[in-house]
Amino acid sequence: MSELIETLWRQFGVEAGEHLDAIEALLAAPPGGTDGPQRIAALFRAFHSLKGAARAMDLFAMEAVAHRAETILGRIRAGSLELTGATADPLLEALDALRGLVEQATRDRRDGVAPDGLLAKLDALGGGKGAGKATADPSKPPNRLHGNDKLLGLFVGLLHDGMATLTRGLDPAALDGEELRAVDDTAERLEIACERLDFLPFADTLRGFRAALAHRDADAALRALQAVAVASARVGRLSGRDAGAAILVTLLADHNAQALESSAARALELMADPRLAEPAVGVATGAELAGALDRVAATLDIVTLPRAAALVRVLADVTRHAAPFGQAGWPGLLADSRMVVERLAALAMLDPPEDLDDGTAAELERRLRACVDGASAGARSGDADAGRPFTAAELTDLGLDAGLLRFLSPDSAADLRAAVADPAIGLCEVTAFLETSAEVASGFVAWLGSRVQAITNWPEFIDGKTWLKLLVASPLGLDELRGGLSAIDPGGELLRIRRCVPGGAVTDDPSAAMREPDSALPSPVPPQRRPADPSAPPAAVAPAQRARQPAVSAGVLRVPGEVVDRFMARIDGMVLLSGDLNAAARDTGLEQAFAALADRLGAGDPGLRAAQEAMERHRRDLLDLDARLSRSVDRLREAALDLRVVPVETLFTPFPRMVRELARAQGKSVRFATDGGDVRIDKSMVETLHDPLMHMVRNAIDHGIELPAEREAAGKPPQATLSLRAVQRNSRVVVEIADDGRGIATGAVRAKAVRNGLVGEEESRALPPEAIHDFIFAPGFSTAEAVTETSGRGVGMDVVRTAIARLGGSVAIRTAEGEGTAFAIDLPLSAAILRALLVEVGDQVLAIPDRFVEEVCGLAGAAFDREINGWAVRHRDRALPVVRLADALDLPTGGAWPPDGAKGDEGQGMVVVLRHGDRCIGLAIDALLRRGDLFVRESHPGLAEVPGVGGVSLLNDGRIVIILDGDALYRLATAAQARRAEGATGGS
C-alpha cells in the first residue's frame, strides 16, 4: 500500500505541474479571439482536474482554491461573466496559490492553508459563498463498496481527477498521437484500478472506451463515456464521495448539444433543398440527409428522447430508400417533417430536454409510412400485401416486440412478410456486442452473410453498453445457428440468439437478464462475500481472468531525470570506448615493429610477410568494426538524446504573464507573441536559459519599448510587439527575442563605454556599430539614467552571455534605432554531449571545449621569445602569447619554464591555441590525447565554484575528466601570463 501511495504522490506532483503550466499559458493569452470558447473549456478542465487531484490526496486547501476558480470559469462558460484582464487577475492569484500548495504538499506530504483573502475574492467573483465538499445525506449512510476504505478513497480520487481527461476522447479523430496516448493512459489506470478492486463490469466499460479510442470511433467512445458517467454516479452515491459524475455529465451534455446542433442544422439545410423532391436528383441528396438524420437520432437516444429518436429514424429510412421522391404529396410532407425536426431539436436543447408529444410523433410517422406505401405499392411483383406496413398486434403475434415497428422500413417489412409466409423459414433475434473484439466482429459479419438473412437491426443500450440487435431469418435450426455463433464467441458473452415463436412465446432468452439496471457498475459486495445466485445471468458477472485489450500504444512513461542521466552516462562510456577502438585501429606501433624486424631478418622472409599480411587484414577488420560501431553508437546517442529533450514551449510558458504585468506596471501596451514552441531542446538547458531570457524581456520592456504616446508621436501603433520564437537549424537551435521599440542608441552606448574606460575616445570612433553594441555585455554596463525595479543596476547582459556561453552558445544583436532590437541566441540541440579536446597536465585529464580550440601545434623551445607581457612565439606571422595550462589552473608543475631555447633546448612541446573572440593565447600542455565526445555530468557544487571548471565527465577507464570553461580559461591564462611577467620584472 505504501508503494501505491508513493506512486500516487509522484504522479500527483507531475500531473499537477502540467495542469498549472497549462493554466498559466491559457490565462496569459490575450482575451478574445476565435479560440475563446476552447480556451475557456480547457481552463475549466484544468482547474477541475486539479480539484480532483487535490481531493484524491486529501488536500482540502488546494481543492477549495481550485473549486472556486472552476466556479468562476463555469460562469464564464455560461455567458454570465467575461474573461477579461480583471477576471484573469484573481485566477492568476489562484494559480500562484495552487503552485505553493502543490509544492508544500509534494514536499511535506500534508495539506496547506488557503489564503482567506483569496478565497473571499474568488467567492465574490464566482457568486458563491464557499466551495464546500460534496457530502452524502447523513441520514442515509453510504453502502460499503469495498472493504478497504482508504484504497477506495484513492480510487474515487483518481476517477474524479481523470474525468476531464477522459472527455477529450469524445472526438478521437481530432487527437494527435500524444494526446490519444494521454487519454488512453488515464483510462488504462482506471481500468487497472477497477480490476484490483474487483469492479469488473466497470473495468469492461473502460476497456470498451479504450477500444473505441484505438479505432477512433467517436460514436462508440461517446456511448462508453455515457456508461462511465452512470457508473461513476453510482460509485459516488454508494461511497458518499464525489466521483466526478456531475462534471462528466455536464461535459457530455455540452458535447451532445453541439453535436445535435450541428447535425440538425445540416439536416434542416438539406430538407430545404428543392431538389429533394426530384426523383433524378433526390437520391444523392436523400442519402446525405439520411446520414445527417441518423446522427440526430443517435444524439436523441443519448439524451433519452425515445419518441423523437424513433421518428427521426423513420424519416431517415424513408429518405435513404428514396421511395416517395416524385410523389405528389411528398413536398408538403417534407416541409411538415422539416418543421417537426426543427421543433424537436429546440426541445432537445432545453434544460432538461423534452420529448415530442405522442400525437405529433405518431401522426407524422403515419403520414410517412402511408407515403412510402403508396410509392412502392406497385413495385413488388403484383403482391398487393407485400408493401403493407405491420401493425403492433401482428408483430406481437409473431413473437416480436411491438417497438420494432419504428425500425421496419418498407423494404424490411416486405422481407419480413416473405419470411413469415415461408413455413421453412424461422425468425431469430440476435444480440451482439462488437466493440471490444475485432475478431468476433469480423467473424459475425461473415456468419450473417452465409447463414442467415438480416431483415433489420437496431441499437439497444444494456448495462452501460450499446449492443446491436438483429432480426434474422434462416431455414437452419436454433442449435445449428447457436453452434455457428459459439465457434466465433466460445464464451457466449458477446453473441446470443433466441428463437421468435408465433404467439409471443420466447425460447432460450439469456439476454433478458441483461436489462438489470446498474449491472455494468461495480458491485457493492466484494466477490468473496457475494452470495451465490444460481439464477444470475452470465452477463452479470465478468470472469476474473478476462484478457485485457491491448492499449492504444505503450503509453507515455514518466521517468525520473536521474534515470535518463544514468542511461546517458552508460552511453558516454560507449562513446569513449569507441574512440579507444579507433585509436587502437589506427595505431602504427605494430607496423613500425614489423618494419624494424624486416630490416633485421630481410624483407623476403615468407613467415614475416605472411604475418604482415595477417596484420593488415586484422587492421582493416578493426577499422571496419570501428566504423560500424561508431555508426551504431551515434544512432544510440541520438536516440538517447531524444529522451532529454522537451518542447521549448516549457521555457516560454511563464513569459506572457510576466510581460503583461511588467507592461502594466510601466503604463505600456505590449502584445506578446511566441512561435516555434514545438522546437525541442535539452531539458538541462531550460532552467539555465530562463534567467537570461528574463533579463532580456525586462530590458526590452524597460529600455526598448516606448510609452504609447511616444510611439504614436513617432508614427507607430500605440501597442508594441514583443516576440519570442525558436527555430531549429540543422543541429542548432536559435531562440530570438525581438521588439519593435526604439532600438539600441549606438551613440549612447559608445559614450558610456568611453566613460567606463572600456575603450578610448579616438578608438571608439573607429569601431563599427556591431563592436559598439557588444559593450552592453560588459560587466556593470548600463545606459539607464535611473534605477528601476527591472533594470538600471548594471546587472544582466553580462550574466546573459556567460550563461549562454556555458551552454555552448552565443548571442548576436540585430538593431536599428527607432525600429527595434532582436537578440538571437544560438545554441546546440543538447548540452549533454560536448565535443572536446582531451589533454593531460601531470596526471590530470582535462577537456577543452572544441569550439574554443583554434588549432594544436608543436613548438620547439628555441621558438620562444621574451616580450613585455611575457613569453610568446612567432606563429602564422604574429606573436602568440603562451602560458602553461598548469599555471593558468594553479596546478602542480614540473620542468623549466619558460623553455631554455638559449641552451639549445630544441625539444618539441605541444601547445593548444585557445581562441576567445578575435584574440588567441597558447596553452602549453604535457600530452595530447585525442578529440572526443563527452557526456557532461552534474558536478558537485563545490567543484562548480572552482574558477575555470565547466563540468566533469568520465573516461571508460574510470578516470575523471575536468571540463574547462573556455571563457574563464582565457581569463585565467591571461592573468597567469601577467603574473609571470610581473615576477620576471621584479626578479630583474
Direct distance between the N- and C-terminal alpha carbons of the chain, in angstroms, rounded to an integer: 79
Determine the pLDDT at residue 900: 58
Look at residue 897 and tell me whether its pLDDT is greater than 80.
no
Task: Give the burial class of 327: count Cβ atoms within 10 A of its Cβ; 0-12 exposed, 13-18 middle, 19 or more buried.
Answer: middle
Average pLDDT rounded to a whole number, residues 350-376: 71
Residue 798: closest CA among 774, 821, 816: 774
Q: 853-875: per-residue pLDDT in tens?
A: 888 887 776 677 776 666 788 77
- For the record, the C-alpha cell of 964 comes out as 574547462
Which of the pair, 407 or 26, is modelled with greater confidence? 26
d(CA 333, CA 319): 12
Instruction: Give the range among 135-139, 244-248, 716-720, 912-916 with minimum mean pLDDT.
Output: 135-139
pLDDT band for position 787 (50/70/90)? very low
CA angle 139, 142, 143 (to 5 degrees): 135
Q: What is the pLDDT of residue 116?
A: 82
- Can you tell me the distance from the alpha carbon of 840 to that of 316, in angstroms, rounded to the nearest whole number? 84
Q: What is the pLDDT of residues 111-169, one digit of tens each?
A: 888 888 888 888 888 775 443 333 333 333 444 555 666 777 788 888 887 877 887 88
Comparing 197-201, 353-357, 872-876, 895-899, the range with the smallest average pLDDT is 895-899
Query: Whole-prediction pTM value?
Result: 0.46
Query: Which carries the bigger pLDDT value, residue 317 or residue 268?
Result: 268
Say if residue 193's pLDDT is above 50.
yes
Confidence grade of residue 533 (pLDDT, cut at 50, 70, 90): very low
pLDDT of amino acid 33: 58
Other CB atoms within 10 A of residue 224 CB: 27
Choice between 548 and 924, residue whose per-residue pLDDT is larger: 924
Three-state secondary-structure class, residue 572: helix
Q: How confident is the model at residue 709 (pLDDT cuts 50, 70, 90)?
A: very high
Q: Does residue 833 contact residue 933 with C-beta atoms inside 8 Å?
A: yes
Q: 888 with 978: CB under 8 angstroms?
A: no
282 vs 580, more confident: 580
CA dist 21 → 14, 41, 153 (Å): 11, 16, 27
Q: C-alpha grid cell for residue 562?
A: 536521474
Q: Minimal CA–CA distance to 726: which of 652, 664, 661?
A: 652
* Bond preceding residue 898 cis, omega within 30 of 0: yes
Q: What is the pLDDT of residue 653?
A: 80
Tell me what pLDDT residue 400 has. 80
